[in-house]
Amino acid sequence: MNEVVLKNAYAPRVRVRSIALPVEHGAWGFLFEPIVASLAIAFSGGGVLIAVMCIGAFLARQPVKVFLQNRAARNDPHLAAAAIRFGLFYGAFFLAGLLGTMATAGLWPLVPFLAVIPLGTVQIYFDAARQGRQLLPELLGAVAISASAPAILLAGGFGIVAAGAFWLVFIARLIPSIIYVRERLRLEKGKSFSRMVPLLSHATALLLVGSLAFFRMVPMLAAFAMAVLSFRAIEGLSSGRIKMKAMQIGIMEVIFGVVTAAAIIIGHYSGI
């Protein structure tokens, strides 16, 4: 299917999709898992506006990345203009969500975002240098994007400790998963890979969430979800695994993300 393009009689074609939407398909799951779970647990008008703000920021990253990379390379004015248009469009959603949150929920729910501003800045730097697919910026981006969870929970009336505990659950879900997927893809491509690093990261995540569940700071089902993810990593990096293509691995990660979010929601309301 031909890709949609922007064009006029005097300008070369500009690929819209490469500017308008993130190329990392798995990032969509990382965006919506904490948003959906947190809104399901502590729904509020302020929480919805925080979600709008986060989605706007998430979408704005791609045109900002294209603009910065374009400036550092060929400096195509048509590409830059398209990136600016999309950046302003998504930025309007971000600003509307931010101002709406401040008006309805105050500044307190925005505190978690202050902690991740440096992480987002580093990620933008890597994007501009065309190194956004490196492990460090991916991990920093995952932590930054998961800040929506505590922010929405704070807007919904949770205390800072409870909101922070749920934040740790999502960090424990995202970081080991990123490491696992990277190593799984290397394994499927016949490249050298590490089995120990992703398994240790999952074990650490399970220990962390298990401890939070033991002290009743998060549902026990959240720890169960971490155990499922750990088993997935063990099986997925074993010699007896079912071989998969990159798209299949991505689809499975979306499914595991849905299972994790559902476990957190069900655990919260059932007390399990």
181 and 103 share a domain? no
Q: Hey, what are 194's tokens? A: 């590490």
Instruction: State the DSSP string of 216-231.
Output: TSS-HHHHHHHHHHHH
Beta carbons within 8 Å of 91's beta carbon, 6+ residues apart? 56, 60
Last residue of a domain, one of 108, 132, 158: 158
Single-letter amino acid code for the residue at 34:
P
User: Residue 237 and residue 199: Cα distance in Å, rounded?
Assistant: 9
Same domain membership, residue 186 and residue 150: no
* 19 and 154 part of one domain: yes
Instruction: Say yes or no: 47 and 129 in one domain.
Output: yes
C-beta neighbour count of 21 within 10 angstroms? 14
Strands (E), the chain: 5-6, 14-15
What are the phi and psi torsion angles at 15 (to 5°)? -75, 115
Residue 183 shares a structural domain with residue 243: yes
Q: What is the pLDDT of residue 71?
A: 85
Query: Do residues 146 and 39 both lie within one domain?
Result: yes
DSSP per position, 152-207: HHHHTT--HHHHHHHHHHHHHHHHHHHHHHHHHHHHHTT----SHHHHHHHHHHHH
Note whether 193 and 139 are same-domain residues: no
Among residues 134, 158, 182, which one ends one of the domains?
158
Coil/strand/helix, residue 126: helix
Identify the pLDDT of residue 11.
46
Q: Per residue of the chain (272 residues), give pLDDT as tens.
A: 444 444 444 445 667 877 888 877 678 889 999 999 999 999 999 999 999 999 999 999 999 999 998 887 777 888 889 999 999 999 999 999 999 999 999 999 999 999 999 999 999 999 888 898 899 999 999 999 999 999 999 999 999 999 999 999 999 999 999 999 999 999 999 999 999 999 999 999 999 999 999 999 999 999 999 999 999 999 999 999 999 999 999 999 999 999 999 999 999 999 99
DSSP code of residue 134: S
What the block records as the tokens of 240 is 């007896």
Domain containing 177 equals 160-272
Which of 124, 158, 192 represents a domain boundary (last residue)?
A: 158
To which residue do tokens 């248009």 refer? 85
Considering the domain architecture, whether residues 195 and 241 belong to the same structural domain is answered as: yes
Split into its structural domains, the chain has a count of: 2
Distance CA(218)–CA(165), nearest Å, equals 7
The answer to whether residues 270 and 209 touch, using CB atoms and an 8 Å cutoff, is no
Looking at the fold, whether 139 and 172 belong to one and the same domain comes out as no
CA distance 70 to 9: 22
Give yes or no: residues 89 and 129 share one domain: yes
CA distance 138 to 152: 23
Which pLDDT belongs to residue 9? 42
